[in-house]
Amino acid sequence: GQSLEQPSEVTAVEGAIVQINCTYQTSGFYGLSWYQQHDGGAPTFLSYNALDGLEETGRFSSFLSRSDSYGYLLLQELQMKDSASYFCAAYHSGAGSYQLTFGKGTKLSVIP
Amino acid sequence: GAVVSQHPSWVICKSGTSVKIECRSLDFQATTMFWYRQFPKQSLMLMATSNEGSKATYEQGVEKDKFLINHASLTLSTLTVTSAHPEDSSFYICSARDAPSGRSLYEQYFGPGTRLTVT
C-alpha cells in the first residue's frame, strides 16, 4: 500500500519560516508533490521533486531525500494568505496509469 | 492555462436519487482524469482513474456500479452517483492530466470540486 505521514497542524507567525515534513512509504515511487488547499477550495499545485535535493519556487521550496523516504515543504516570509492546508502527495505507478496518493494534510495557521 | 471546471458546484438530492457531476478541461486535452472524494478535514481519496475512450479503473473499495464514470471525450468526464445515500455526502473533486510529456506528466490540475449533500 501507499502511506504518507505529515503533521496535522502547524502554527507560525507572519513573516517567519515554517517547514512541513512528510515521510512516505510508497511502491513504484516516482516523486513527491506538494499541494495547497484553502477551505472549500480545490488543491493547487505547488511543487514536485523527482530527484534528491531542494527545488525553489519563490517563497516556497521543497526538498526530497529518496534514500530516507522523506521530504519537506519550506515556506518563507509567511503571509496571512498562506493559511491553508498543505498536502504532500506521492506520485507513483498505479492501475494502468500514474497516480497521486495524498497525505492527510497539514493545516497551517499564520498568526500576526 | 490548464483550467478544469466542475458542474455543479454543489448539489442537494434526496436519498435514492442519482446525481451526475461533470468535469471539463477547458483549455487542454485531458488524456487522463481522476476522481477524488474528500470528507471534511480529511485528505483526498482517489476513487478512480479514467482514460478517454476506455473503462475507468477503480480503487479498491470503491463500488463501480454505484459510482459510474464516463470519459467520453478528451475534455469531459462524468461521475454519476447512483442511488445516493446520506453516507455519499462528500466533496467530490476531479483532476486532469495533460498529454504525458514534461512537467504535465506529474502535474494534475484540479477542478473546484462539487459538494454533494444527500438528505
Rounded Cα–Cα distance for residues B99 and A51 (Å) = 22
Chain centroid to CA B20: 10
Question: Does position A92 have pLDDT exceeding 90, yes or no?
Answer: no
Question: At B86, is the secondary structure helix, strand, or coil?
Answer: helix
Q: Grid coordinates in use for A55? A: 527545488
Rounded Cα gap, residues A76 and A91, in angstroms = 25
Higher per-residue confidence, A11 vs A94? A11
- Residue A7: CB atoms within 10 A of its CB come to 16
**Which pLDDT score, from 0 to 100, does residue A70 have?**
97
Distance CA A50, CA B94 (A): 24
Query: Do B93 and B33 meet the contact criterion of CB atoms below 8 Å apart?
Result: no
User: Where does the pLDDT of residue A41 fall: very low under 50, low under 70, confident under 90, or very high at 90 and above?
Assistant: confident
- The better pLDDT of the pair B42, A83 is held by A83
Which of B6, B43, B45, B110 should one mutate to test binding to chain A, selecting the residue with the greatest count of A CBs within 10 A?
A: B43
Please state, in angstroms and rounded to a whole number, the distance separating the CA atoms of residues A80 and B50: 37
Residues in chain A with CB shorter than 8 Å from the CB of B106 are 30-31, 33, 48, 50, 91, 98
CB distance A35 to A7 below 8 Å: no
Out of A95, A102, A105, closest to residue B57 by CB: A95
Rounded to an integer, what is the distance from CA B11 to the centroid of its chain?
14
Q: pLDDT tens track of chain B, all 119 residues?
A: 678 999 999 999 999 999 999 999 998 888 889 999 998 888 899 999 988 878 889 998 999 999 999 988 889 999 999 999 999 999 999 999 876 554 556 678 899 999 999 99
Which residues of chain B lie closer than 8 angstroms to A104, CB-CB? Answer: 42-43
- Whether residues B51 and A99 touch (CB distance < 8 A) is answered with no
Distance CA B102, CA B98 (A): 10
Q: How far from A79 is each of A55, A83, A104, B38, CA to CA, in Å?
A: 20, 8, 23, 26
Q: How many CB pairs under 8 A join A and B?
A: 60
Do residues B19 and B117 make contact, with C-beta atoms less than 8 angstroms apart? no
